[in-house]
Amino acid sequence: MTAANNTESLRREVRSWLEQSTPSGWREAMTGTDQESFVRLQRDWFGKLAAAGYATPHWPEGWPGGGRSLAEQKVIFEEVARADAPRLILFFVALYHAACTLLECGSAGQRDRYLPGILAGEIWCQGFSEPNAGSDLASLKTRAERRGDRYIINGQKTWSTMAQYADRCLLLARTDKSGPPQAGLTYLLLDMRAPGVTVRPISQITGDDEFAEIFFDDVEIPVEERVGDERAGWAVAQATLASERGLTLVELSQRMRYSLPLIAAEMRATGRADDPATRRELGHLIARVDATCALADRYLLKRISGEEAPGDASIVKLYYARTLREFTSLGRRIAGLEGQYYRGFMRGATQETGNWTVDFMNSYNWSIAGGSDEIQRNIISERMLGMPREPRSWQLGSQR
Amino acid sequence: MTTEVRELHDSARQVLGGIDLAADEQATWPLIADLGWLMISTPEDMGGLGMGLAGACALHMELGRRLATIPFLPATLAIEAICLGDLPGREAWLERLTAGSDYVAAPLAESALHLLPGDKELAGTAVAVQSADRASHVMVWTSSGDCVALVALDRPGVKIHARPTWDTTRRLFEVEFAGAVLDDALVLARGPAAQALARRLATVRDFALAAEAAGGAAALLDLTVEYLQTRQQFGRPLALFQALKHRCADLKALTEGAQALLQDSLAKLGDYPGGIAQAELAGRAAKQLACSAYASVTEESLQLHGGIGMTSEHVCHLFLKRAMLNEHLGRSQESCSSDLAKAFLECS
């Protein structure tokens, strides 16, 4: 059988499984609800997907569900979007960031210790960003001091998704202050129940608290929980960040296309279905959304054929973020005053829910997190267009 | 993109790299005829290269990069019409037209044309007919779509008027028909067959304009980045300023998005279960997005070039004027978005 036949038969199989298994009415159930019910839904949904083998298609052969090609993984993500199934927000860091880092850079012992737990539903979070190290991640200051066979951690992390529910954390900390900032970092695995770890959820502008701060006060981590060598943390972190390989944006751009009817519904609800100006805006948005899907698709195909070039991923991310802003902003403007009245938001529903003011505010997640639009523009201009980096002249002056 | 199409892009870029931007029409025409480009999408069983619309669009894109002045788009549109229509002596026509020894023009914008009672005579004006003074015939369809025909330009009741545009890279004419009698032997289609053909031709034109715009946008962005790398102020190249880099990055994203959508739509063209209606919408989306990206790139590039961009010796204005004209060729930008919205609202 050819590869194309394989992916098409997988598509049929996944589609029919999703028709049977997608929790019905999850959007309604998740609207205006508390975080505990959200976590319950996520756990149930993860359990079903994992049992069917669809949670770990990217894991190597030999693991349950593993050994799928990138083309097959793409099919699964596309079908999940098509079925409007919940996103696995709570488990994404475990399944992708943690597992891929361990598979690529971890020891055999670490893989045996942690991968079965991830498969059983352990929740992981990421401890990279700090209050003073966002876009400039390499300047992070959380200290990991070697004392015998342990590291002693002191400092603070922030923007850690769902850290309040996490069992473990991927921690990037500084073991060395000398030399270039990237060179002094070390990558560690932390048990979130260790003494000295404090988690504080961050209340967002939408009222949600998907992120948290993590404080470390003399937290001990055994040396065998280090991934890679001491001072090699930056390279390991790159493996973490590269782990989702464009699949998320394939899924999210498809979901955005399936969400376009929300705009049509809003136009009808507000009596603007025949308004020429609004129609033109919708028409332009449709073209933008289609282009976003085409870009995400093209990017993944390039990855499959090994033709990815520097900056390609940044183009997709930037285009998606801008289009999402346009999408949600249009919905908000059509909704008018009605859209400004408070309504409880929907948890775990990606970005387009029709609760436009919330959707609009949430669209900033995509233009700030995971490399802000500004960082993507730097990458595009420097690595694709060949424009020079700014000189670090400010550092040479009186500061530092 | 298939390997074949990619190779076509590469070879076309190499050939066109050897001639000037906006090079003279009469010098370029024999070159592209010799290369066989005029038969790019003509089916193989009619003696063509059989590379379809994707092949033609690769060439439109490369020609757009070089601000080509030749009427390649209308010429290929007329050839497409002849391949699909019902024309006595089609073989001889195709031979002459693909060799470039004869040229049949076609309107690049929507034209208000109709048949007079009796369905024998044509009235109205075909607009944006490129290089009409070099054409023997013009291929037109009526607004209602029920007749597609070739009309000899020297026929009684047919007049051509030059309409100089701000875009000097293309020479446009209006062709006025005042009860011009149609030659039955030159009617390509009538009735429902004509309507299907006219829709298809309008869609091919939208895709071609999208490709042309995507090529122009990419080329001018390259030139702009190059200029920013060279031009120095405050003791450093302008390309070092983040404010300018970020604008270039945004323009890059717009051009990539337009190209991705165009290529994705071209790749799916044969598979649309919705047939012509779906292809029509894809063409409109591609045209809308590519022309709006071209507009953004040309508007910003002029600003990024500063004073030199306002001079006629620099090429910035040639791209800007071409982009402005493109917005009004094919389906207008506004009707593209309105049509997309209309179709979407009807089925959602």
Q: One digit per residue, pLDDT tens: chain B, 348 residues? A: 889 999 999 999 999 999 999 999 999 999 999 999 999 999 999 999 999 999 999 999 999 999 999 999 999 999 999 999 989 999 999 999 999 999 999 999 999 999 999 999 999 999 999 999 999 999 999 999 999 999 999 999 999 999 999 999 999 999 999 999 999 999 999 999 999 999 999 999 999 999 999 999 999 999 999 999 999 999 999 999 999 999 999 999 999 999 999 999 999 887 777 778 899 999 999 999 999 999 999 999 999 999 999 999 999 999 999 999 999 999 999 999 999 999 999 998
Residue among A264, A374, A381 whose CB faces B345 most closely: A264
- Both B80 and B110 in one domain: the answer is no
Place of tokens 């609760």: A355
For A124, phi and psi rounded to 5 degrees?
Answer: -120, 155
Q: How many domains does chain B have?
A: 3
A310 neighbors A282 (Cβ within 8 angstroms): no
- Both A277 and A224 in one domain: the answer is no
Q: Among this protein's residues, is A61 annotated catalytic?
A: no
Cβ contacts from A onto B, under 8 A: 131
Residue among A287, A294, A377 whose CB faces B246 most closely: A377
Interacting residues of B69 by C-beta distance below 8 A, sequence separation 6+: B22, B23, B24, B25, B28, B169, B170, B171
- Both A230 and A251 in one domain: the answer is no
CA angle B99, B102, B104 (to 5 degrees): 115
Interface TM-score (ipTM) > 0.90: yes
- Choosing among B236, B287, B344, B347, which should be mutated to test the A contact, i.e. which has the most A CBs within 10 A? B344
Global pTM reads: 0.94
Q: How far is A338 from chain B (nearest CA, A)?
A: 22
For A113, phi and psi rounded to 5 degrees?
Answer: -75, -40
- Both B114 and B183 in one domain: the answer is yes
Distance separating alpha carbons of residues B335 and B331, to the nearest angstrom? 6
Full residue range of the structural domain in which residue A31 is found: 3-87
B243 neighbors B228 (Cβ within 8 angstroms): no
- Both B260 and B304 in one domain: the answer is yes
- Both A251 and A204 in one domain: the answer is no
- Cross-chain Cβ contact B341/A282 below 8 Å: yes
Selected residues 278-297 of chain B with any CB under 8 Å from a CB in chain A: 285-286, 288-289, 292
3-state DSSP assignment of residue B55: helix
Structure tokens at B227: 């200029």
- Residue A58 placed within a domain: yes
Q: Long-range pairs for A36-40 at CB < 8 Å and ≥24 separation?
A: A38/A347, A38/A348, A39/A90, A39/A165
Distance separating alpha carbons of residues A140 and A171, to the nearest angstrom? 11
- Residue A118 placed within a domain: no
Amino acid at B208: A
| Catalytic residue (one of A130, A244, A251, A266) | A244
Chain A residues near residue B342 by CB distance under 8 angstroms: 279
Crossing angle for the helix pair B191-230 and B72-84, to the nearest 10 degrees = 150
Distance separating alpha carbons of residues B1 and B199, to the nearest angstrom? 25
Burial-class residue A263 by CB neighbours within 10 Å (0-12, 13-18, 19+): buried
Full residue range of the structural domain in which residue B28 is found: 3-99
Mark which of B162, B192, B222 sits at the end of a domain.
B192
- Both B170 and B180 in one domain: the answer is yes
Mark which of B156, B177, B192 sits at the end of a domain.
B192
Report the residue of chain A nearest B221, measured CA to CA: A385
- Both B115 and B80 in one domain: the answer is no
List the B137-141 sheet strands across, edge first: B104-105, B137-141, B147-152, B187-190
Q: How many domains does chain A have?
A: 3
